[in-house]
Structures are given as C-alpha cells and as structure tokens.
Chain A
Amino acid sequence: MFAAENGLKGDPRLQAISNAIRVVPHFPKQGIMFQDITTLLLDHKAFKHTVDIFVERYKDMDISVVAGVEARGFMFGPSIALAIGAKFVPLRKPKKLPGEVIAEAYELEYGRDCLEMHVGAVEAGERAIVIDDLVATGGTLSAAIRLLERVGAQVVECGCVIGLREVKGQLRLNGKPLYILVEPREIDGC
C-alpha cells in the first residue's frame, strides 16, 4: 500500500522525498530507469522525513526486530531501529556474515542469488519489519520474509521507500503487508 493512500494523503514530506530521488537512465543496463536514493541521503531534511514516517508508523506496533537488506536497506534500517527501540538485523549476500547463518535462495531476472541471516539474531515470536530502499519484483523481500519466518519470527510488514509498478495494487507480498512511501520518478522530457 502506498503511504499517500493510507493516512498520509497530501503530506508534503512525501513530495519532498520524491523530489530528492534521482533517476539514472539505463543503469545497470539499457531500459532500466534506476531510482537513485543517494540524492535523498544528501538532502538532510528529506532523509529525516523518510526515517520519521517509518518511525511514526512502527513505533507503537511492538516491533523488536528491524531487518535491513544489504546494502541500501542498511542506510535506512538502523535509524528506524534505533528510534523505535528495536534490534537491527542485517540480511546479507553470501559469505559476508561471520559465524553460523541460515540462507534463503531467490530468483533474479537471470539466475539466482542468496540472502543470509545470523542464527540466533532473531528469536521465535519476535515481531519484525523488513526495510529496503526499493521493491521491484519482490523477490529479495520474499526471501527476507522466509528467513525470518523460518526462525519463528512474525513479519508484521515490509517497508520500502520506493515501489515499482509491478507491485502497485499488490497490498501484500507473501501474504505480508507492504508499505511504500513513493512511486518511481520519471525523467522529465525523457
């Protein structure tokens, strides 16, 4: 669900966030209009609004785990976790996390990839959210949800700054609610 349709209609912060995102055409390959959040991170006010909106939404939901997907999920997740008093759990590409991990494979456009989480980071029964910068097909987020559910955590919601059109109209991913701040930007005159 998009924030503007769920309680934040007309919230000027959403426009500021959208305006701060840069579109880079044909990255990483021809035809892809890459939604670049690094420009959002350079706009201190807009970056703060982004974190604030998620914090306002999740602070009273009894969330004890914020899981962030490597690497751009790391840029948003920890600040949310700190503000709501939850732990931050990094979900990483293979072989990055030391010690014992569990792994979940997922499909890419061409081939497969894998997401790992530390054993013992999350306990059964904990309420968790998953944070990433953008949701496209939902493959990565689905893998994240599966990792958390495998250890008995309850995934309350997935929160993303940007949601691509493939997910518009999908209220849920793997049966989990999806909360998205803004739609992708278009390039002007492109």
Chain B
Amino acid sequence: MHRALIFSSLNPIYSKLSTTTASPDSAVFPKRDGGWIGPPPVFRLQNYKRTLLPPLCSASDSVANQPKMASQDEQDPRISKISSAIRVIPNFPKPGIMFQDITTLLLDTKAFRDTIDLFVERYRGKDISVVAGIEARGFIFGPPIALAIGAKFVPMRKPNKLPGEVISEEYSLEYGTDIMEMHVGAVQAGERALIIDDLIATGGTLCAAIKLLERVGVHVVECACVIELPELKGRERLGDKPLFVLVSST
C-alpha cells in the first residue's frame, strides 16, 4: 500500500520501492511493539535504493537556480519506518476512501521523532520565520518544527475559531466550499514561511493557506506534508510552490 519516496519539487524521478503484497482492501495496523495486526506487508527490496533529500534553496537562491539532484538513488532509512507507522483505514470518512491515519505514527515515539527531525533538518538555518499549520493535524506537526527552527507558529483555522481580527479565504471542496482563516498581524510582509499539514490530497487546503499568507506579503518557501496522494494531483495545483513530502501513497 505504501511506497516510501522522497519527492524533489523539481525532479519527479525517484527510486521505486516495490509495493506491499497486502491487498488494498486489507487494513494493516502496526502494533506498538513494532509487529503487525493482520497480514504483514512484504516489501520486496531487490531494487531498493537510498534517496538523498533534495536540497532546499536558501534565501539567496531563486527557485529557478535550484540544482538538480546529483543522485536520487539513496533514501533516508527513517522513511520506511515512518511509512510503516501510518495506518490505513478503508472507507473512511466514506466508502471508497482509504484514509491515511497518522495517529499511529504519533504512538511510535521514534518514528514521530524522526518525522519531525526530517523536516527540521531540511528547514533549519534557511531563514524561515513562520511555520503555518493547517487545522487540525497540521497543529500536531507544525509547532515542534517551529520550536526547533526558531520560527513562530501560526494556526490556519476553520471559521469562527480564531478570536480577534482575521482574514479569510474561501476554497473548494468536493461538494461545496469551506473557509480558512488567519489572524491579522500574525505575520509580517517579507517573512519567509512554511506551510505544514499531515497530508496533501487535491491541494485545495494548501492553496488557500498559500493565498492567505501571500495576501499579507509573506513569501511561502515550501509546503511540507508527511503524506502525498499523487493521484489527486495536489502537487500540480500548487503551481510554482514547491512541495516536500516524506511518504507517497497510492
């Protein structure tokens, strides 16, 4: 079910791990001691290669000048444990959806630590002063990253949750629309920001967050998620905004 991949925002070529032999309909639940409830996934690793994390440009580099990956044949060993710690719940919240449940990742202290470390290693020292997290699972990953890199944490919330003056951005859902809000004055024009969420699907929520920050003159350096659902093409929807993910799930 999971292929653990590192995505470069510029270079979509990546090393493929073989997929698990578990059928898509069987939910596989990691137990806390590292074993499995249900049929264990079998990863055929003959073609396993390790992928280097793509470099993040610093303040002085433009996106266009980012170097291409020198080699994409190395994967950080922490990634596969992170991928394994994510639980898939079939048919939630409705039939046909294979829900990627990160709560089991939060129960695995090493994998949760590694998840945060991978983001912190990428963003530390890159002059990022804002970590924006999307309600509610972005609130779980964003603050530890913000604390570690010395940035402020800015919650991006559903309507009527933030007290005081807010700006709002409407965005599309599969059926209907929703609204995202951010506090006026939380961020200043010219600040460099990351946006964090647990997962990117269609990219609609992330796009709303990008718009809110850009409306007040913030430079969104990158969007970062634990999981990407590539078939929903969220990466394309982000346009020229780079996306960094740890795990891709199809």
- Chain A interface residues (CB < 8 Å from chain B): 22, 24, 27-28, 34, 36, 38, 41-44, 47-48, 51, 70-72, 74-76, 78-79, 81-82, 85-90, 92, 95-99, 118, 120-121, 123
Contact = CB atoms under 8 A, between A and B. Distances in A.
What secondary structure prevails in chain A residues at the interface with B?
mixed
A74 B147 contact: no
Interface in B106-131: 106-109, 112-113, 116
Most chain A CB within a 10 A radius of its CB, from B87, B109, B113, B160: B109
Given A42-B153, A99-B101, 9 more contacts: A34-B163, A44-B150, A78-B106, A81-B106, A81-B112, A82-B116, A88-B140, A99-B89, A121-B103
Nearest to A99: B89
B107 A121 contact: yes
10 contacts: A42-B153, A44-B152, A47-B153, A70-B136, A71-B135, A71-B157, A82-B112, A82-B113, A85-B109, A99-B89
A42 B106 contact: no
Most chain A CB within a 10 A radius of its CB, from B89, B150, B155, B163: B163
Contacts of A81: 106, 109, 112
Interface string B141-157: 10110110011111101
A42 B101 contact: no
Contact of B109 (A48, A72, A79, A87): A87
Nearest to B153: A41
Given A38-B162, A90-B106, A99-B89, A78 B99 contact: no
A24 B152 CA distance: 20
Most chain B CB within a 10 A radius of its CB, from A24, A70, A85, A90: A90
A89 B250 CA distance: 26
